[in-house]
Amino acid sequence: MNADQLNGKWKQLRGAVKQQWGKLTDEDLEVIAGKRDMLIGKLQERYGLAREVAQAKADEWLKTYAPSDSEAHAAGMQ
């Protein structure tokens, strides 16, 4: 999922983010506001993770919400 997709789907993903990372507060989610770098920073802060680890965890989780190749093709994204 690219940055534009994350930003556009943020309201839909907030619940899933909170379920995945329960230490993130509602205020954290407001600050993150669909920005990947902010998500990574908050994961570092709340979970004490190194940036590389937080980035890998965020990216792995975000892959589960990325459109499949067929969906992306149908939407004209490829």
Which residue do the tokens 């994961």 mark?
43
In the chain the domains, ranked by start, together with CATH numbers, are 3-63 (1.10.1470.10)
What does pLDDT average to in each consecutive run of 10 residues of the chain (78 residues)? 74 89 94 92 97 96 68 36
**Contact criterion met (CB below 8 Å) for 13 and 74:** no
pLDDT at 8: 74
Q: Could you tell me which residues come within 8 angstroms of residue 43 by beta carbon, excluding any fewer than 6 positions away?
A: 21, 24, 49, 54, 57, 58
pLDDT at 74: 37
pLDDT at 42: 97
